[in-house]
Amino acid sequence: MIRLQPGNYFGQTTQVRHFGDFRITATRYAPGTFLPTHCHEQAYLLVSLRGATIESAMHRDHVCSRGWVVLNQAGESHCDKISDQGAEALNIELPAAFVAQFGRRLAECPVQYRHAGGALPAVGCLQIAMRSSDPLSRLAVEESVTTIVDYLTDGAASDRVTGAESLQAVEQIIRDRNGLTPSLDSLAAHAGVHPAHLCRQFRRTRGRTMTEFAASVRADRALERVMSTDQPLSQISVECGFSDQAHMTRMFRRFFETTPGRLRREAR
């Protein structure tokens, strides 16, 4: 088995940045690429930005597309197949002191594959920080990584509560519809529970309401288009389900503390 030293990853390294104790390596993978069985010498968090990766670990295949995060402790083996669309990701090495802060919670989760869920805005904030020269980017990265890992380790416990599969199915429906959700009654019917129970359980286990989660999914979809395409902002706002461009701008300020126009200018 191949053991990768810190800072070394398969695929094409497109950017490396340091934010305090965190080193983040942006990688790009060609369509159809196969990554042989390997492990990493240091615990790390992979954040999927584009395309999809099928990772085989712990006797299961895990499909990781945008918004999915993978938490791997040091020495955990896995292999990967890149989808026909290729893939892009951020690889965030987790310092020993950071891992120690989570103590038992992180030790009980040697490998985690989850959608960022309630921490989804943190994925966009990381992507923005990689392109920013603002001195506050260090704090933004530290906060975002902490938020994601906290959500992952807490979510592992939440998944053990009754009805976890139903809640995951509801979350998947919201993601599949890009934040343009059906009615509460239809979601509750799909989960097989009373609407009030669904609202209560979703908020308790996800840390936000279904409406807030749907809004973050819609904003994340727009963020990806703003940063990776030349589509007019007005067109993106319509296609992503906002009432108009001003509405999209308000949501960017809410979730990412910036505007689509500013991101577009910085990307250029």
**C-alpha to C-alpha distance for 45 and 11, rounded to whole angstroms:** 16
Domains within the chain, CATH numbers bracketed: 2-157 (2.60.120.280), 164-267 (1.10.10.60)
Measured CA to CA in angstroms, residue 267 lies from 125, 132, 137 at distances of: 14, 9, 16
Residue 206 CB partners (closer than 8 Å, separation 6+): 117, 118, 158, 167, 171, 213
Position 162 scores a pLDDT of 46
With residue 85 as reference, give the H or E element that holds it: strand 78-93
1 and 57 Cβ atoms separated by less than 8 Å: no
**C-alpha to C-alpha distance for 57 and 32, rounded to whole angstroms:** 18
Position 221 scores a pLDDT of 94
Q: What is the pTM of this model?
A: 0.87
Measured CA to CA in angstroms, residue 131 lies from 64, 221, 263, 267, 268 at distances of: 23, 18, 9, 7, 10
pLDDT in tens, the chain (268 residues): 899 999 999 999 999 999 999 999 999 999 999 999 999 999 999 999 999 999 998 778 999 999 999 998 888 889 999 999 999 999 999 998 888 888 777 777 767 889 998 899 999 999 999 998 888 899 999 999 999 998 888 765 555 544 677 888 888 899 888 777 678 888 888 888 888 888 888 888 888 888 899 999 999 999 999 999 999 999 999 999 999 999 999 999 999 999 999 998 886 6
